[in-house]
Amino acid sequence: MQHKVRFQLSGMMFLQYFIWGTWFVAMGRYLSEALGASGVQIGTAYGNAWFGAIISPFFIGMIADRFFAAQKVNGILHLLGAGLLYYLSAVKDVGQFSWLILLYSVVYMPTIGLTNSIVFKQSNDSTKDFPQLRVVGTVAWIVANVLVGQMNWGNTNYIFLIPAAASLAFAAYSFTLPNTPPNPSGQTSIYKVLGLDALVLFKDRSYSIFFIGSVLLCIPLSFYYGFANVFLTSGAKLTQVETTMAVLGQGSEVLFLLALPFFLRTWGVRKILLVGMAAWVVRYLLFKFGYEGQTWMLYLGVLMHGICYDFFFATGQIYTDQKASPDIRNAAQGLITFATYGLGLTLGSWFSGQVAGKYTTNGIIDWSAMWLVPAGIAAAVLAVFLVLFSESQPKAGAQPA
């Protein structure tokens, strides 16, 4: 990859994840403290924040695969996102907020797959280039959360105003990115127009098991996204939580992303995925016992984010690219976005909210009991995956039907 292209794509990844990181981690605290939301309402809002990944990635991936350049579609979506984030900053009603965050997710979530696809199409070695560029996004997430934490903006509308301005800038920047034109193959049909040609990946048994595992593992992941900040702030009474989660959590993500090519070469996909799932079990047990008096366990649980996220979700994006043929790569990234950020995290966020409500008495959550639920789910997914998933050699890509 040319240095100029790498520099441009680094800027792309920085803006993509700075926007998301600024509001996402702090949203639970903002809803709780600024809007007075309950645990169930927080879970619903996070579920809506993911729901757009169910509705739109296939369609947007199809557009970028067959009709328009990916960078142009990305620019238009971020322009729309800027306006929605600005509107969210002024909303005071929890119900209205939940609907607006759903609408925002419809335009933001497809851009995750689009930016991934831009990287993959510009790279001759995605196993090497993708982790190196994706880590820039993690650095941006850290910068965003440190900014919010140090300025104590976690319960203010600045968490939406700042990314609104960044989205406007990214919309303009997208049109300067390397051209990533559509790559249609064969005659266009309704099947292809809907992005369903990516479903050919399910002919591979290993990929089908991976897809199901991705959906299920997102259920315990939802507990972390929706309630870790609230737990560490109001439950464990830690301070500067956004900064802690960024420096320790995303800091470890940087290290493991950089190390991911080495682990892919030496361990292979299957072992990496299994370690990633096991890490979720350990993390939630650390939260449970750390809350009962061992604060160091809480910090260690946050520190494990690099293994938890990179060893399953970043690896899964690379695995998906390896399995897809060039003409369906955008749709394939839409498929994995659908599985994780869409179906899995939407259901998981709703479920985590219901669990939080069940373990709430007089407005106080029984954190020790609640963290056992995602730990148990992650352990069950790990056991099933261990038995059923057998790694096959990456193919040039499945041929579209």
Residue 110 lies in a domain: yes
Residue 151 is inside which H or E element, if any? none
Task: Give the three-class secondary structure for 397.
Answer: coil
User: Is the pLDDT confidence value at 201 over 60?
Assistant: yes
Distance CA 221, CA 46 (A): 12
Measured distance CA(249)–CA(307) in Å, rounded: 10
Q: What's the confidence (pLDDT) of residue 258?
A: 83
Mean pLDDT across the chain? 86
What CATH number did the domain enclosing 318 receive? 1.20.1250.20
User: What is the distance between the alpha carbons of residues 26 and 153, in angstroms, rounded to a whole number?
Assistant: 9
d(CA 96, CA 35): 11
Residue of 255 and 373 predicted with greater confidence: 373
Residue 182 lies in a domain: no
Question: What confidence score (pLDDT) does residue 285 get?
Answer: 96
In eight-state DSSP terms, residue 324 is B
Flag whether 190 is in a domain: no
Give percent of the chain with pLDDT exceeding 70.
Answer: 91
16-57 confidence digits (pLDDT tens)? 999 999 999 899 889 989 999 988 899 899 889 888 777 765
Three-state secondary structure of 165-184: HHHHHHHHHHCCCCCCCCCC
Residue 98 has pLDDT above 90, yes or no: yes
| pLDDT at site 59 | 61
Please name the helix (run of DSSP H) or strand (run of DSSP E) that holds residue 365, with its range, or none.
strand 364-365
Confirm whether 276 is domain-assigned. Answer: yes
3-state SS assignment for residue 360: strand
Instruction: Give the residue among 107, 133, 106 at the shortest CA–CA distance from 118.
Output: 133
Q: Which residues contact 273 (CB under 8 A, 6 or more apart)?
A: 210, 213, 311, 312, 315, 316, 385, 389
Confirm if 95 and 108 have CB atoms less than 8 A apart. Answer: no
At 394, is the pLDDT very low, low, confident or very high (cuts 50, 70, 90)? very low
pTM score of the predicted model:
0.75
Reported residue count of the chain is 401
pLDDT the model gives residue 176 = 95
**What are phi and psi for residue 365, nearest 5 degrees?**
-85, 135
Q: Tell me: the pLDDT tens digits for 48-58?
A: 988 877 776 55
Least confident of 170-184, 202-216, 311-325: 311-325
Per-residue confidence band for 229, with pLDDT thresholds at 50, 70 and 90 = confident
CB contact set of 306 (below 8 Å; sequence gap of 6+): 249, 251, 252, 253, 254, 255, 256, 257
Q: Is the pLDDT of residue 193 over 60?
A: no
Q: How many domains does the chain have?
A: 1
**In the prediction, which pLDDT does 388 show?**
87
Taking only the tens place, the pLDDT of each residue in 110-122 is 888 788 888 888 8
pLDDT band at 147 (very low <50, low <70, confident <90, very high): very high
* Residue 394: φ, ψ to 5°: -55, 140
Nearest alpha-carbon partner for 242 in 25, 9, 6: 25
* 189 CB burial (10 A radius; 0-12, 13-18, 19+): exposed
- What are 320-365's pLDDT values in tens digits? 888 888 777 767 877 787 788 788 888 898 899 899 999 999 888 9
Q: What is the pLDDT of residues 171-182, one digit of tens each?
A: 999 999 998 887
Amino acid at 364: I
- Rounded Cα distance between 91 and 100, Å, is 9
- What percentage of the chain has pLDDT greater than the value 90? 41
- The string of DSSP letters for 383-395 reads HHHHHH----PPP
Residue 399 within a domain:
no
* 395: confidence class by pLDDT, cuts 50, 70, 90: very low
Q: How many CB atoms lie within 10 A of CB 215?
A: 19
Longest dimension (CA), the chain: 63
Residue 148 predicted with pLDDT over 60: yes
Distance CA 133, CA 374 (A): 31
Residue 184 forms part of a structural domain: no
Q: Read off the tokens for 366.
A: 């029984």
Using one digit for the tens of pLDDT, what is the confidence trace for 63-79?
766 778 889 999 999 99
Whether the per-residue pLDDT at 390 is higher than 70: the answer is yes
187 torsion bin: left (phi>0), alpha (psi -120 to 50), beta (else): beta
Does 401 have pLDDT greater than 50? no
Range of the structural domain that residue 152 is part of: 3-176+199-388
192 within some domain: no
pLDDT tens digits along 238-265: 888 888 888 898 889 888 888 888 898 8
Assess if residue 283 is contained within a domain: yes
pLDDT beyond 90 at 399: no
CB distance 42 to 356 below 8 Å: yes
Read off the pLDDT of each residue in 277-297 and give the average, rounded to a whole number.
92
